[in-house]
Amino acid sequence: MPRRVQNISLLGVDLAWGDRNPDGLCAIQVRSGRVASMEPGLTHGDDALVDWCLRSSGSKTVLVTLDAPIVIPNRTGSRPVDRLTHVLFGRYKAGCYPANLGKCPRPVRVAEKLSAAGFEIGWNVRGGSQLLSEVYPHPAMVRMFQLEERIPYKKGRVEDKRAWFRILQRHIRKWVKASCPEIPLSGWMSGLLREPWSKAIEDQTDALVCALIGYHHWKHSGTRSEVIGDLETGFILLPADTSLPSAP
């Protein structure tokens, strides 16, 4: 990735695979190399999401990080990158679900609509680029937070979700303080990271993690990121960590 651009919109999207549930959103706006604003949100449906991405693209350079399989050439089965996550992160219980066009048509449809709006799929940020990258928070958080196992905040009883979600919030606050101290842990972000679990709060927190993966990628000009998979069969952008598994 070339020298870091100074003005960029980093948009995290926790994309619902189906049409019933809302999409979690988080926009980090960087101006002159500094975080100028951060904003969470929710949208419902393809058109509202595309409109939000366009409205939130406050600079000519944009990186949208989506927690969804945006490149899926296979109609059945799973992608090579899905299987690779189980090789690399299976012991952390952080492998991907199998993605195919039969199970999850919406992410590809959304990617096509964003492509028609001027975005391209990739990860090499450069001045004026408008990019879509697939991310997957579970293995990313294993690396970011140095976890021995993924945080199981998505399933189980509500009481269990609330307990695990509080642990996730603490990890995010700790990581931001240590790795991105220039990001203010105040205002809405402070509130979001102390709210009790609800599905809406979970979706926006997942979107925040997606945006932080993009921010980490931008901040270090790609030198502390790893891409597993490829553009043809599917890829995932991850924070790199040499103390944990990397792609062969």
- In this prediction, residue 243 carries a pLDDT of 54
> What phi and psi, each to the nearest 5 degrees, are found at residue 122?
165, -170
- Residues 6 or more apart in contact with residue 84 via CB below 8 angstroms: 228, 229, 247
142 strand-pairing partners: none
- In this prediction, residue 2 carries a pLDDT of 64
> In the chain, where are the structural domains located?
8-235
Distance CA(122)–CA(237), nearest Å, equals 9
Indicate the pairing of strand 8-14 with strand 62-66. parallel
3-state DSSP assignment of residue 222: coil
Taking residues 26-37, what's their average pLDDT?
Answer: 95
Model pLDDT for residues 42-52, shown as the tens digit of each residue: 999 999 999 99
Confidence of residue 202 (pLDDT cuts 50, 70, 90): very high
> What phi and psi, each to the nearest 5 degrees, are found at residue 25?
-135, 150
Distance CA(22)–CA(122), nearest Å, equals 25
Supply the pTM of this predicted model: 0.95
Taking residues 164-184, what's their average pLDDT?
Answer: 96
Helices then strands, counting H and E runs in the chain, come out as 7, 8
Taking residues 8-35, what's their average pLDDT?
Answer: 94
Taking residues 171-185, what's their average pLDDT?
Answer: 95
Which tokens sit at 169? 């919030």
- In this prediction, residue 246 carries a pLDDT of 42
Nearest to 72 by CA among 39, 106, 46, 44: 106
Confidence of residue 19 (pLDDT cuts 50, 70, 90): confident
Distance CA(129)–CA(157), nearest Å, equals 43
Confidence of residue 247 (pLDDT cuts 50, 70, 90): very low
- pLDDT at 242 exceeding the cut of 70: no
| Average pLDDT of the chain to the nearest whole number | 93
- pLDDT at 170 exceeding the cut of 80: yes
Model pLDDT for residues 52-110, shown as the tens digit of each residue: 999 999 888 999 999 999 999 999 999 999 999 999 999 999 999 999 999 989 999 99
- pLDDT at 245 exceeding the cut of 80: no
- In this prediction, residue 66 carries a pLDDT of 98
- In this prediction, residue 187 carries a pLDDT of 85
Provide the greatest CA pair distance for the chain: 47
Tell me what percent of the residues of the chain surpass a pLDDT of 70: 96
Distance CA(220)–CA(18), nearest Å, equals 34
Taking residues 131-136, what's their average pLDDT?
Answer: 98
